[in-house]
Amino acid sequence: MTPDVNLLVAAMRLDHPHHAMAFNHLQAQLKLASERPNQSSIMLFGVVVAGFIRIVTHRRIFQLPSSLLQAIDFVETLLSAPGVVFQGAGSDWPSFRDLSLQTDGNPDSSTDVWIAACALQWGQILHTFDRDFKKILPAENLYLVSR
């Protein structure tokens, strides 16, 4: 399982309209990961973490943005949980290029395509609120968290 940016943002931000749902979903996934400590069952992609930090600390997105330290502490807390790993290396160029071409990649969705290519490369299921991933990922690599 790998969380998308929107799931992490909603899970952290108490003022997010989907906070409770995202927080509970992430907690359930963390509980599953702790029950299987020898398996890395939650993978945080570097591109997702960077997007998360950019959004939660952005003054134009939140009236009272999170501090950089709060955002980093949230990520550190996740990474300290059993079964959670950071995958700094992302997709390779051919995977990203091919997926972009297969999905008629709109430049506005390039980050989503990169995240999808990472999920495919690492055999992960992307957990997200973003239904646009249905256009990019096969159903077996996508879990849509209901709003």
Taking CA atoms, 54 is separated from 46, 70, 101, in Å, by 12, 12, 27
Other C-beta atoms closer than 10 Å to the C-beta of 61 total 12
107: pLDDT strictly greater than 90:
no
Report domain extents, the chain.
Answer: 2-140
pLDDT of res. 8? 98
- Output the pTM of the full model: 0.86
pLDDT in tens, 112-143: 988 999 999 989 999 999 999 999 999 999 99
Structure tokens at 113: 């395509």
29: pLDDT strictly greater than 90:
yes
pLDDT in tens, 64-84: 999 999 999 999 999 999 999
Topology of domain 2-140, per CATH?
Rossmann fold (3.40.50)
**Mean of the pLDDT values across residues 53-62?**
93
In sequence order, what E strands does the chain have? 2-3, 42-45, 84-87, 126-128, 142-144
